[in-house]
Structure formats: C-alpha cells, structure tokens
Amino acid sequence: MAVKSRVLKAVVGLMALCLAGYIVGPPLYWHLLEGIASVSRSSSASSCPSCICECDSLPLLTIPKDLSNMSFADCAKHDPDVSEDTQKNFAELLSEELKLREAEALEISSAVIWHYSRLKR
C-alpha cells in the first residue's frame, strides 16, 4: 500500500511538472530567444542594414461595396413614424396575448370545475 501511494505521488508530481513546463515553457523560450537575438544583434549591428518595408496601406481583406450592408448605420436612427407604428403594433400584440391567456385560463378553470363536480358525485 505504501508503494502504491509513493508511485501515485511520483506520477502526480511528474504530471504537475509537465503541466508547469507546458504553461511556463513557451514564454520562457521566447524571452530567452529574444535575449540571445538582442545580444547577437548588438555585436553584429553593422553587418546587416535595416530593412525598408513598402507595405500597402490597404487591409488584407476588403468587402466589395456591392456586398457591404451600409444600411446598418441607419438602423439606429430614430424615426418617429416607425416608432409610433411599432408602439401601436406592440400594444395590439400585448392585448392579443392577454386575451389568449385569459381564454386559456377560463378553459382551464372550466375543466377544473367540471372535474371537481364529477368527483363530488
């Protein structure tokens, strides 16, 4: 039993060490690599001139104007006529929903009354 617990502790410790290496290893590797590169650059700075980059200012991915949706910005604008219609429609929908729930409640209560009267007999 003592041997199993020691083996288990060793396996868990090895797993913890591997997990810590997996998490800490890549950043540590890149920091060390940058440090070594900066030391080698400082010693050989005169051998390599600086690079001139002539990159385009355009992004890598552009959406054609025919496919872009420019009406999205217009959606947020306040239109009084549309908001009045929306409010009226919303009020109508709410009243219809209330009528439906009232009808459902009446139906359920009548069913309960019928079952209750049936049980009394």
So where are the chain's domains? 1-40, 80-121
pTM (predicted TM-score)? 0.32
Torsion (CA) 17, 18, 22, 26 in degrees, nearest 10: 70
- Measured distance CA(31)–CA(37) in Å, rounded: 10
Burial track 42-73 (b if 16+ CB lie within 10 A, e otherwise): eeeeeeeeeeeeeeeeeeeeeeeeeeeeeeee
C-alpha angle 112/114/115, rounded to 5°? Answer: 65
For residue 18, the Cα-to-chain-centroid distance in whole angstroms is 30
For residue 35, the Cα-to-chain-centroid distance in whole angstroms is 36
Length of the chain in residues, anyone?
A: 121
- Measured distance CA(119)–CA(112) in Å, rounded: 10
Residue with tokens 């010693």: 43
Helix locations, the chain, DSSP H: 2-43, 72-75, 80-120
The per-residue pLDDT for range 72-116, each reduced to its tens digit, is: 555 556 666 667 777 778 888 889 999 999 999 999 999 999 998
The per-residue pLDDT for range 25-77, each reduced to its tens digit, is: 888 888 888 888 777 766 555 556 666 666 666 566 666 666 666 555 555 56
